[in-house]
Amino acid sequence: MRKKDTLCYLHASKKTQETSQSDPRLFTNLHSGAPSLSYPSRRTHLLECTSTMGGSAFASGENPLFTPRMPPHVYKLVKSRCKSALRDLYIYVASPIDGPAKRDYGDVDVLVTCARDEFTGRSGEEAFPETVVKAIQDALGADHVLAERGGSHFAVPWPKDLPADSYAAEHPKRYIQVDVTISPSITSLQWTLFKHAHGDIWSILGSVIRPYGLTVDEQRMFIRIPEIEQTNKNKAKIELTDDPCEILEFLGLPIAGFWETQFPSLNDMYEYVAQCRMFWVHPGKQEANDHGETHDPAQDKAKLKSNDRKRMSSRPNFSKWIDEFVPRCRQEGRYTTQRTSREKIKQEAFDRFHVEAEYNRRLDEYMREKQTDTVWKDIKGAFPAADPTDKYACQYRGCTIKALKKVIIEGDTSFGVLPDEDSPMRDKNGFFIFENVYDFISRKGEDVGRAAMARHHQAYEELLETKGLKRKQEAGSEVA
């Protein structure tokens, strides 16, 4: 894709993007011989088996294969050949923009979508998975394949016309791992290109925006509700957008020129990330911020989430961001002023993405659930467990707390014990007024208990009466 084509797409209005997702004119170069580019768009399809990326999918098992890392010139040529071969099967074939400063490559990643008629049949019906994998294997000339959900790994013989390093040359049989992911749509393919562009950039950006309540995952960007996220991470996430342009603009990151090709160097990528309006570095240990607080740089690592700590050991570029770039900014006095806050980001998200109603609805629902749990615990606490040898006391407690739960939590009025009109147990929004709840339990809990016991005894007597009538009927039948 030519740069201007990419920029036209990136700068398209939201309305244009919404109405043009299936317009092939926007993607005419996805299947061309142009360099692999990333195309910010909507939605996502998870790249499967990311744990095996890097040429290690075939490294274990009964018959492990030797898949040496590729120098850049080999990688680029093999990727070009693989994409060319796959264009015979799929209309759209692409790869994410590679990360900067890579000296070698462990595998080749290719994404495809929209199978050609000759591959699927004129009806457009999807071929069987085995047929698809076999067709891709034949197109790539792969000797081995590991087929998995969403994507497969192919072991392609190292081309004989390409050189290998001295270590690789000692092995008689060399392979290149090619990972092919079949995206369900053009939009999902484009999101994956966007999300997996530039190597570790989203790992770094994720660590920058996370303290501000934002998350960009394999589907879209979310804002998290802090009151909920400690106990239910999924429920705490409110969808904001799956439009990459909207995401980049909201983060304060420029678009033009940065999502078309690789960054020249790691530092260039770091400087780009630092433009995010949520990035800032705490002042040095002997310096104070605007609030008069001092900061120990060692605290930066201590505050990392568990996933980020893992990345520190497994992702060198992420580690260099933490260990080198951030300290250098602090030493140079750059980005030492916090530019925004979590509360401001929340309000801006409300204004831009119109999610305030859903955010508040989700929060209110969660708070009501928490209140209900608290009230139920308080009901049980108001009537301590009875002596297990005292059957009546145990029965009374059980009936009382169950009845109070129905009256207070479920709004049951059948026990005939109601709160005073001037002391409602819930406000107009359905939240408990704890003071009134505790007062009701204290003043009318015993009344509810007596009513519950009376109901229990009545039910028991009715049961006995029913059993007695049944016995009489059975006895009469035997006499007859």
- Give 223's strand partners: 214, 238
- Give 93's strand partners: 112
* φ, ψ at 320 (rounded to 5°): -65, -30
Residue 276 scores a pLDDT above 90: yes
**Per-residue pLDDT tens digits for 299-326:** 555 555 656 555 554 578 999 999 999 9
Instruction: With CA atoms as reference, report the closest residue to 446 among 394, 403, 411, 392.
Output: 403
**Per-residue pLDDT tens digits for 400-454:** 999 999 999 999 999 999 999 899 999 999 999 999 999 999 999 999 999 999 9
Highest mean pLDDT among 22-31, 39-48, 349-358, 379-388: 349-358
Residue 366 scores a pLDDT above 90: yes
Query: Which residue did the predictor score with more confidence, 178 or 27?
Result: 178
Look at 28-42, 105-119, 456-470 and tell me which has the smallest mean pLDDT: 28-42
* φ, ψ at 142 (rounded to 5°): -80, 140
Query: Which residue did the predictor score with more confidence, 433 or 3?
Result: 433
Question: What's the pLDDT at 309?
Answer: 53
Question: What's the pLDDT at 60?
Answer: 80
Question: What's the pLDDT at 195?
Answer: 94
Spatial separation of the C-alpha atoms in residues 214 and 164, rounded to whole Å: 44
Question: What's the pLDDT at 30?
Answer: 47
Instruction: With CA atoms as reference, report the closest residue to 242 among 304, 296, 178, 190.
Output: 190
Residue 289 scores a pLDDT above 60: no
Question: Which amino acid, one-letter code, is at 478?
Answer: E
144 pLDDT band, cuts 50/70/90, is very high
CA distances from 24 to 28, 33, 242, 286, 288 (A): 6, 16, 20, 58, 55
**Residue 214, both tokens:** 């934002």
Query: What's the whole-number mean pLDDT along residues 274-302?
Result: 65
**Residue 184, both tokens:** 């369900």
Question: What's the pLDDT at 61?
Answer: 76
Spatial separation of the C-alpha atoms in residues 203 and 308, rounded to whole Å: 8
CA angle 247, 101, 199 (to 5 degrees): 35
> Are the CB atoms for 315 and 201 separated by under 8 Å?
no
Residue 43 scores a pLDDT above 60: no
Question: What's the pLDDT at 386?
Answer: 86
Spatial separation of the C-alpha atoms in residues 245 and 6, rounded to whole Å: 12
pTM as predicted: 0.74
**Per-residue pLDDT tens digits for 161-200:** 866 555 555 666 889 999 999 999 998 999 999 999 999 9
In sequence order, which residues have a C-beta less than 8 Å from that of residue 62 and are 6 or more positions away? Answer: none
* φ, ψ at 148 (rounded to 5°): -135, 165
Residue 93 scores a pLDDT above 80: yes
In the chain the domains, ranked by start, together with CATH numbers, are 3-195 (3.30.460.10), 201-353 (no CATH), 375-479 (no CATH)
Spatial separation of the C-alpha atoms in residues 437 and 174, rounded to whole Å: 74
Question: What's the pLDDT at 286?
Answer: 42
Residue 216 scores a pLDDT above 70: yes
> Are the CB atoms for 294 and 288 separated by under 8 Å?
yes
Question: What's the pLDDT at 64?
Answer: 87
Question: What's the pLDDT at 475?
Answer: 61
33 pLDDT band, cuts 50/70/90, is very low
What's the sign of the alpha-carbon dihedral 331, 337, 341, 347? negative
**Per-residue pLDDT tens digits for 48-58:** 333 334 468 88
Look at 5-14, 360-369, 394-403, 405-414 and tell me which has the smallest mean pLDDT: 5-14
- Residue 73 burial (CB count, 10 A): 10
CA distances from 258 to 14, 199, 206, 226, 469 (A): 20, 13, 18, 32, 86
